[in-house]
Structure 1
């Protein structure tokens, strides 16, 4: 993009437009995943919905390419494309809570910590992810699961409406009554259909939770997984616990004697009566004595930000994911093998429960196509050193390839890595894919929004 074109875009917007010659460019192009090193032609930081509409028109009318950045947590780096325009929503970071109605409206650049903090002041929350620095946009459009899923469903199950800028530059509000097909597609279909400038969520009573973690030595991983696969699906919806393979962080609450050790464990969230927490967690000794068990009452936002310091922006990441309806004995053997070979101190595997309230939504009600899944798994190679990028990538790929035959065939779209291909996208949406392609044809017939896990428009006629 030459200077004259860049200046025209700057003139059109209230927010700043950052080009490669600007001193803040290097910082502005950084995203959460340090493995992504791409150089957009410009980064348009939109101040409001009008800026978003003007940027979409500008890029489309000049035949340029567009990528959209919310919180910048895309593991595949889809918010950056070389020589394209990144439409950056980070200035649109705001939350408005209506406590009596129990709803919250948030800007498209908002991160989970913003929403958690604002809602917590009224003793409320909505299901989202597990890290406060994650953007609401990408998480929501992919489906959204985390600590409150078993109690209150997926993030998309609590989405009431969305303001969207479409490929033709127009602005619409999508909900159950208006643009209902678009609203259906937005609830799990990713960033294929437009730029969401604000989301409106239903909120639920959540204030003090009992959060914590239990870890066992790896020689107990088979016993722990056999216990976990039976225990958690039968537990009340107030209890959420995701299974994790990890190197124990050298930080509280873990005692020094287990720092750095490879272990397996469960990260807990209990939203029930605080006084009954000890009884709730008593079964953690059933698979054998844990190496460490810690739970404590805490504000919900404290649990949501528990991993922020451990996983700051700029680490090397490579991940893949799959859905599972069961944890077979053969799958446990694979988990045990790769847990022993965790390549770096931050690399990990998580199994997030997606049952409970998430199972009570009908399969066709949203674009999320795996209402029959019990767990959403992610295999994540993580390290600060770029020299280890290939090592962590290969571990994640090998782990995923050995686990995939034990999966349901598709994975959470937000856990898809770069270059997995269209077959994986189709597997993610199952028999919803054709309906999504029809919505894409209606709202983005020329596939203007294609810097994503792409759903191509259905053919005309």
Structure 2
């Protein structure tokens, strides 16, 4: 461990959120991610309540030469949100969002999930492009590009991204957009979470609804060649409003999967 109790007390005096170490009763839940096979044990989880907490946590990790990971939605299969023996900068409590219906934009904090974003935008007949699972984090989705059901019509999440608030590895706060720190903005748009801690995102929104037709079609595996060829040919002439995601997989026994499959 790269810090002592005095160091931790000093951080706590400047930290509004919750600091969770191995002796904390909520430690095990704080280190869990969506992929339950990932069982890493960080030295400290810093559950941030705002940008000031993020700055304090990043500077603490830098001062103590700690391995650092960033937790947004913690949905990545590889479990990048948590690290062994280091510091987790946890944004899961930062889920605020604000829609500007006139400008058709939304600003969301770095801990927002797709479910949070969709609930706010739907109140105004708007939608964000990107995302297919409600419990995916907006941050990780966007920083990786952001595919989704609306991408044929509206593009990827990064195509709708207007600006980001970022805490750099030095612990400095900057804004990244096409007009401000454009090189950083270019890297954030699909370059992964390696350039800093993004504490908020601003996106363009798109009118959608009030009715959307969606669902799942499933076929037996032995029909895959015929079905995939049909879907390929169908989508060549389909309008941009029609989205399709095809999967060739062996499915577990789920209520939505017919027993015959």
- TM-score with structure 1 setting the length: 0.54
8 Å CA contact 1:164, 1:197 repeated in 2:
yes
Structure with more strand by fraction: 1
Q: Could you tell me whether the CA contact under 8 Å between 1:6 and 1:19 is conserved in 2?
A: no
CA distance in 1, matches of 2:69, 2:10: 19
Deviations 1:37-85 (A, max 9, x none): 0000000011101111111111101211211000011111111111100
Q: Deviation at 1:246?
A: 4.3
Aligned equivalent of 1:227: 230
1:247 is the counterpart of 2:259: no
Aligned residue for 2:56, secondary structure, equals helix
Higher helix proportion (structure 1 or 2):
1
Gaps of 5+ in 1: 263-461
Match of 2:84 in 1: 82
Moved over 4 A (4+): none
| Counterparts of 1:233 and 1:176, CA distance in 2 | 33
Aligned position for 1:156: 158
Residue 248 (structure 1) shift: 7.1
Stretches of structure 2 that go unaligned for 5 or more consecutive residues are none
Greater relative contact order, per chain length (Cα 8 Å cut-off, separation 6+): 1
Q: Which piece of structure 1 moves more, 213-222 or 165-174?
A: 213-222
What per-residue deviation string (whole Å, max 9, x for no partner) do you get for residues 111-139 of structure 1? 00000000000000011211111000000
Secondary structure of the corresponding residue to residue 151 of structure 1: helix
CA 1:9–1:150 in 2, change beyond 3 Å: closer, same or farther? same
Q: Any conservation in 2 of the 1:93–1:107 contact (CA below 8 Å)?
A: yes
Q: Following TM superposition, by how much is the alpha carbon of 1:156 offset from its aligned partner in structure 2, in angstroms?
A: 0.2
User: Which residue of structure 2 lines up, in the alignment, with residue 211 of structure 1?
Assistant: 214
> SS in structure 2 opposite 1:225?
helix
Question: 1:168: how far off?
Answer: 1.4
In structure 2, how many angstroms separate the alpha carbons of the residues matched to 1:68 and 1:102? 29
From 239, 252, 255, the equivalent of 1:236 is 239
Which SS does the other structure have where 1:55 is aligned? helix
Residue deviations 1:254-305 (CA, integer Å, cap 9, x gap)? 6xxx32x43xxxxxxxxxxxxxxxxxxxxxxxxxxxxxxxxxxxxxxxxxxx
Q: Distance in 2 between matches of 1:185 and 1:233?
A: 32
1:25 aligns with 2:27: yes
The DSSP-based 3-state class of the residue aligned with 2:115 is helix
Q: CA 1:214/1:248 → structure 2, altered by over 3 Å: closer, same or farther?
A: farther
Root mean square deviation of aligned Cα: 1.4
- 1:335 aligns with none
Q: In structure 1, what is the Cα distance between the partners aligned to 2:192 and 2:254? A: 36
TM-score under structure 2 length normalisation:
0.95
Alignment pair present for 1:196 and 2:226: no
Equivalences, count: 257
SS in structure 1 of the partner of residue 216 of structure 2:
strand
SS at match of 1:96: strand
Q: 2:13 aligns with which of 11, 14, 18?
A: 11
